[in-house]
Amino acid sequence: MIFTKMLVIPIAVLIAVAGFLTTDPTISSFFEGIKEKFYSIAQKEPPVARNIDFSLSINNYPEIEFDRAVAMNISTKGHVNATLQNGNILASSMEILDYRGTGFVSGMLVLNGTFGTLKTESIIMTSDRLYSESNFSEVRIENLRINNINLTGTGYLNLTNSSISFSGQIEIKEPRGVFTFSKDPLQMVIEGHAQKITMQGIEIDLK
C-alpha cells in the first residue's frame, strides 16, 4: 500500500505538470502517453469531455482494438471458442458481463481478460479469466471507448437535431457507447457520445 502511494504521487505530479507544457506538440504527446498509462494502472479512464450525442450507421469498419480497464458488457452470436482457467467452452452465443481487458474486432472477436459473469446457452460462470475467439455474425459491446476511429464508407450520422447521410471518410474522436458489429450485411452501428466528429470538410466540436 505504501509503495503504491509512493508510485502514484510522482505520476500524479507529472500529470499536473503536463497541463503547463501543452504548447509544445512533442512534450504534449509525451505527457498524454504518461496520462494514459497512469489511468490504466489506476483502472480509471482519463477525463474527456464528450459533448456530442450521436448515432452512426456505416456499411464498413476497420479492425477495432481496445485495451481498457473500464467494465464492458459483450454479447456475441456465432461460433464461440473460449478458454477459461478450468477448461474450454464451445457455444453458438455468449454474453459477458463486467468484462475488463484487451480485445479486437475484425473478422473475429478476440478477447483476453477477466469477467464478472459469462453466460452461454448451456452454462453460467462467474469471476474467471477468459481468452476467447468468436467467428461472430453479430457482436454488441456496451461501454466501449476508443481514442480515435477513422471510417470510410456509406452511412448515416444522427445528431440531436439533424440527420446527415454521407459517403466517404468520417473521423470520430473519443467515441464511447454501444458498438454493434455485423457481417451479413457488413455494418457497424454506434450509439453514444464523442468529443469531435469530422466529415466531408465539416468539423463538429461542441465545447
pLDDT digits (tens, 9 = 90+) for 139-168: 999 999 998 999 999 999 999 888 999 999
Query: Does residue 131 surpass a pLDDT of 70?
Result: yes
Half-sphere exposure of 73 (CA within 13 A, CB side): 7
Average pLDDT over residues 71-77: 96
Q: Quick one: three-class SS letters along 46-112?
A: CCCCCCEEEEEEECCCCCEEEEEEEEEEEEEEEEEEEEECCEEEEEEEEEEEEEEEEEEECCCEEEE
Quote the mean pLDDT of the chain.
82
How far apart CA 202 and CA 207 sit, in angstroms, is: 16
Query: 5-23 pLDDT, tens per residue?
Result: 444 444 444 444 444 444 4
pTM of model > 0.85? no
- Give the closest residue to 197 by CA, choosing from 178, 162, 169: 169
Query: 14-66 pLDDT, tens per residue?
Result: 444 444 444 454 444 444 444 444 444 445 666 788 889 999 999 999 999 99
